[in-house]
Structure 1
Amino acid sequence: MRQTGDPAPAPSQNRAADDVAPEAKSTSQSTAPSTAPLLGGKGRQIAGQLLAPFIGIVLFLAMWAVLAPQVDTSLGALPGPVEVAEQGVSLFDEWSAAKELESAFYADQEARNAAYIAAGEPGRVTDFEYSGPPTFVDQIITSLATVALGFVLATLVAVPIGLICGLSPLVNSAINPLVQIMKPVSPLAWLPIVTMVISALVTSADPILAKAFIISALVVMLCSLWPTLINTAVGTSSIDKDLLNVGRVLKLGWFAKLTRLVLPASLPYIFTGMRLSLGVGWMVLIAAEMLAQNPGLGKFVWDEFQNGSSQSLARIMFAVVVIGFIGFGLDRIMMWLEALVSRNRTI
């Protein structure tokens, strides 16, 4: 018989606590292994995406800095990353100074015209354009505008022809030999032909677009349209025949079949071709600008090579780095557009 205050229940409580504790321990032990691999996997993924490229770039810059001074050229030792970066800052300062001169020019012109009007001499009012030499930033803008025009023209020509070739085996057989012959032609071969044709057609003293700009854009178009054309034709010909049969059963017109069936199914191939075409066009443009002395980054590189100053080599190398970054950026833009269009794509 148990008396009041007997501590006998305590062992039962302890046993209950002991029964609960193993469950808690087993729960904590079962959850720990499941979170560790997850965190480890994320860590490895982040390291692969960010840390590895960073280490690669740092190693490249270190090798460049060590090996560059050991290479002697006619313009002096090969500049290292620091010298190239300094010239990049110098080029930006030159652009800022040129913009200040341009702003001062237009401000003086407006003040002078206002004084003429106040004096009752409106006939002396002038409207001159600033004609300073183009800066490095201006050359970048010119090259981007040129490649954009050439790429748009190439897309407008290549996509319709590729769709027709993909839908018609007969047309594809007729055009394929011409494509295979024209595709390997160098831009250096197209340039004199395009120059003579445009010089004969554009005879106006003040055309809407500069003659050199048109020549460079057409050379880009002629050299960059082939990847888009070929990929469009391949994508169109690879469409599931059952999908086209559904269009026949629904009695869709050619435009409805093209916009609802053919184009959505071919979009991945088309954008792959457009990405390749844009990359080819950017490479072609630099070569065309160097050879034809048309405004742009290619002309900047050639002018610095001809200049032969102690800073020219570093400026050329900085231009090469900028050209590479711009090409990378253009490719990323095309990837983003492809993802955006594919996300809203319905068949």
Structure 2
Amino acid sequence: MPRIHFGPGALAKLPALAAAFGRRMLLVTGRQTLRRSPVASRMLNELRHAGMEVACLEVEREPSPELINEAAALGRQKPFEVVVAIGGGSALDAGKAISAMLLQRDPVERFIEDQPGFTPHDGRKVPFIAVPTTSGTGTEATSNAVISRIGPGGFKRSLRHPAFVPDVAIIDPELMVSLPREVTVSTGMDAFTQLLEAYLSPFASAYTDALCCSGLEHFARSFAVASGDGAASVAVRADMAYAALMSGIVLANAGLGIVHGFASSVGGLFEIPHGTLCATLLAESTRENIRQLRASEGGELGLHKFANASRILTGSATGNLAADCDRLVELLERWQERFAFPRLGEFGVRESDFAEIIAATRSKSNAVPLDASAMQRILAARV
């Protein structure tokens, strides 16, 4: 776990927390972070006034191997003592990966999971502070950074080591009040998907279940409000930030399911925002998981968990297991319609791509094993 500082005004602690590691800082931000957030923009000046030597790097999209290698090479010329990332999941993943590669000489590709010539990373890194400005990936609490090379033969895989968990996580909901609605929805759906998939994982425990349910309760209370008229409420944004933080902790301890399996395989071939991909696949994946659990021996525990998630999200229960599971799917379909989640076909995915996608999809932590036919049904419903 990182050392967590959570709540309105938490960002003010950054200069002192960073200075504890040293004065030479690499600050990684999203392309719009400093422009969109006056709070974050002021912090850059405060860091410099505090005597920090700050070099800045803007990240426009999900980090590629080339970005990480170039940043690490530049950083070795003037060694940094601390890396700070302020932004969404892509900026945080980039900062995490750069901190992991500054003390290495080999390219990052060598250490990415499931890539040719993979070699485990030794865990050496430059101290890293994560400051999320969206409520989605939970990467402020995870041990992996997602690296992408998108296109034919592409991949979206993790650079991973227990030491890569950020040293410090600063979660300040005031940084999130200016998020556009579409970013609030897509990142919120990512956090929700992570909570639901970790809750249903065969590797879940009483510990992760408790955190999943707590995260789901905060999400249920504030997602619709954050995506509507209450977007500027700090309290609402705090609920969403808490849900995202819980989702990061539980995914690191229980794993994720088929939606994130597709996020890796589909996301490596097509340029689709990660939260959007989760949002468009979740209802159909949940329907398929429930169908498979009903047909499997020993699936009752998973069905009870889906029913409990339905109770948390809707605020009530029918007392009928099948009906409560169906209500969850119906709610996800209403969100799909209300927020107009785009179909996969809008990003160029075609039925002819299914075989390649399915062959590359891994979901060992899914609620129930899914064969190729089940995965094809999910994709076909959303193409």
TM-score when normalising by structure 1: 0.25
Q: Which has the higher contact order (CA 8 A, sep 6+)?
A: 1
The structure whose Rg is larger is: 1
Per residue, is there more helix in 1 or in 2? 1
Per residue, is there more strand in 1 or in 2? 2
TM-score when normalising by structure 2: 0.23
